[in-house]
Amino acid sequence: MLNTQKAVDASVIALNRGMAELQVLVILYDVTYLRQVEQMQLDFVGNVSHELKTPVTAISGFAETLLAGAKDDPKTLDQFLHIIYDESSRLTQLITDILTLSRPDSGQAQAKPVAVADLVAEALKSLQQPIADKQLQVKVAVPQDLTITTVPAKFSQVVRNLLNNAVFYNRQGGVVTVAAKADEKNLHLSVQDTGIGIAENDQERIFERFYRVDKARSRHNGGTGLGLAIVHDMVQQLGGEITLESQLGVGSTFKVTLPLADLPSFYKG
Ligand code: ADP
């Protein structure tokens, strides 16, 4: 009897010790997570400063050279003013993207029914010029009556950013295909291109903020390196998922799955 009691006491002590160890483990995990978040924030601020510096340095450098006398040559004046204008546009886009990523969701956004075909058509309209310049063929397979109840601004940003990349990273005379369909719960949207493709070792990092396979090419296309990070954030906020299939030199397909109506409770308003 006495022995049984001792065994029970020992088990209780072991259990308590086990619980204490468990608690210590939980706290350690928490600290590691907080450190990771802190490090990510520091990295982001570091990257932001670096990215902002590039256009600012160009703008002040070219303006200074003009003021020092280069403005007297009309050709140089025109050339430098164009550079200053392009760099200011880049700066504006960068600031817009940074604010989109770092602004906490205000919770004000209301979910509404959105016609997917209309939203795709609108996004393509703003890309008319680069599509014509590259002589791209655009194929759209989206049923006219397909609607999704979602946050329009966020969904639109996802579609616009994916289409933007499908155009800019495409080859001359290539094809962009947008397709959408629904099952009973989800919308399945895919944006496919016949462009440069993304190597396997880059694919897992492609949604990171400021990650670019080819910095010079991204810059040339007016990219900020934040487009896919924004897409990833928005898709997550809307309760969906995004995947990528890509082959170097063949092209890429981004596939987005979003709930047709069952949004995170945050947006039901
Ligand atoms: P960026 O402003 O540089 O385009 P993104 O976040 O949109 O930034 O994309 C990150 C990087 O992923 C790009 O710099 C590019 O290297 C690569 N990428 C994105 N979309 C495509 C695509 N459709 N085809 C090939 N590469 C792509």
37-81 residue pLDDT tens: 888 888 888 899 999 999 999 999 999 999 999 999 999 999 999
Ligand 1 centroid to residue 164 C-alpha, Å: 9
Where helices occur in the chain by DSSP H, the ranges are: 2-67, 74-102, 116-125, 128-133, 152-168, 200-203, 215-220, 227-237
| Share of residues in the chain with pLDDT > 90 (%) | 70
Rounded Cα–Cα distance for residues 230 and 228 (Å) = 5
Ligand 1 centroid to residue 246 C-alpha, Å: 12
213 CB within 6 A, ligand 1: yes
| pLDDT tops 60 at residue 4 | no
Nearest alpha carbon, ligand 1 atom 11: 212
What does the mean pLDDT of the chain come to?
Answer: 89
pLDDT digits (tens, 9 = 90+) for 232-265: 999 999 999 999 999 999 999 999 999 998 777 6
90 CB within 6 A, ligand 1: no
Ligand 1 centroid to residue 146 C-alpha, Å: 28
- Integer-rounded Cα Rg, in Å, for the chain is 25
DSSP state of 222: T
| pLDDT tops 90 at residue 168 | yes
ipTM over 0.95: yes
Band (215; pLDDT cuts 50, 70, 90): confident
pLDDT digits (tens, 9 = 90+) for 89-110: 999 999 999 999 887 776 667 8
| pLDDT tops 90 at residue 86 | yes
Q: What is the mean pLDDT of residues 216-237?
A: 90
194 CB within 6 A, ligand 1: no
Amino acid, single-letter form, for residue 139: K
101 CB within 6 A, ligand 1: no
Band (35; pLDDT cuts 50, 70, 90): confident
The whole-number pLDDT of residue 2 equals: 47
Rounded Cα–Cα distance for residues 70 and 76 (Å) = 7
204 CB within 6 A, ligand 1: no
Contact 263, 240 (CB under 8 A): no
The whole-number pLDDT of residue 1 equals: 46
The whole-number pLDDT of residue 12 equals: 55
The whole-number pLDDT of residue 60 equals: 97
214 CB within 6 A, ligand 1: yes
DSSP assignment of 39-65 equals HHHHHHHHHHHHHHHHHHHHHHHHHHH
